[in-house]
């Protein structure tokens, strides 16, 4: 069995609206490799050091956009949002009031980066949403993932050493080579309000963490949370 974390275990690549050359390994969309991949894609779109904004995009006058940023067709950037490149904001994606995008962020189509939400060095695949007061650092959100209000994806261990993960198919503990790694959430994962995912959390498609829980590790099926929350 391959020790790598296959991206297609978490995300149905064939269902994405934009058929880019996505890496085969999920961790190749994190850290320095994400930065290189994103820069190459922006360069292919003609984005250098200044933003390119589609004519049909709606960007509030008080939004601040700097550096190599692409804003796609019919995307919406609300007042006082701050987008720092490199970043790609896909078609019909919403960057809401006071959102903070700190660079190395790819958001596909129909995503939501919500009010007072901070995102850095992360990937939102089509339809992924972090609608309210979330922190998403060094993470991958699959298609139609939803983070409830106040969700935090922690990306750094107290000791600051390498984040290791439990392989969802083999159960083996594997090295990622990453000091910062938040969570990898597969397609249609649901995270309840005020939940926290510890560094290196892996969630298989269609799993869920119930509200106000702390989860660290690998969830391959079902729900994580107390039995009392499931009634």
Catalytic residues: 132
Dist CA 46 CA 66 (whole Å):
15
* Torsion (CA) 13, 17, 19, 22 in degrees, nearest 10: -50
- CB atoms inside a 10 Å sphere around CB 166: 17
Q: Provide the edge-to-edge strand list for the sheet that holds 196-197.
A: 64-66, 82-84, 100-101, 118-120, 135-137, 152-153, 196-197, 214-215
Q: Are 210 and 229 in contact (CB under 8 A)?
A: yes
222 to each of 93, 99, 207, how far by Cα in Å?
A: 29, 31, 5
- List, in sequence order, the alpha helices (H) in the chain: 7-10, 31-44
């Amino acid at each position: 069995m391959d020790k790598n974390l296959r991206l297609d275990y978490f995300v149905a690549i064939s269902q994405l609206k934009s058929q880019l050359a996505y890496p085969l390994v999920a961790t190749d969309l994190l850290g320095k490799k994400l930065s290189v991949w994103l820069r190459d894609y922006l360069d292919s779109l003609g984005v250098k050091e200044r933003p390119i904004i589609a004519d049909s995009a709606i960007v509030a006058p008080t939004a601040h956009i700097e550096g190599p940023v692409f804003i796609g067709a019919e995307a919406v950037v609300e007042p006082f949002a701050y987008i720092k490149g490199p970043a790609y904001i896909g078609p019909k994606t919403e960057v809401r009031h006071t959102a903070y995008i700190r660079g190395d962020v790819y958001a596909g189509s129909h995503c939501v980066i919500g009010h007072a939400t901070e995102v850095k060095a992360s990937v939102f695949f089509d339809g992924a949403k972090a609608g309210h007061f979330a922190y998403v650092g060094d993470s991958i959100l699959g298609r139609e993932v939803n983070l409830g209000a106040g969700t935090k994806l922690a990306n750094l261990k107290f000791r600051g050493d390498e984040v290791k993960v439990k392989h969802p198919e083999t159960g083996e503990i594997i090295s990622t080579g990453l000091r910062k790694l938040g969570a990898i959430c597969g397609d249609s994962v649901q995270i309840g309000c005020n939940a926290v995912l510890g560094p290196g959390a892996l969630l298989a498609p269609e799993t869920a963490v119930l509200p106000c829980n702390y989860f660290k590790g690998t969830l391959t099926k079902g729900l994580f949370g107390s039995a009392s929350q499931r009634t």
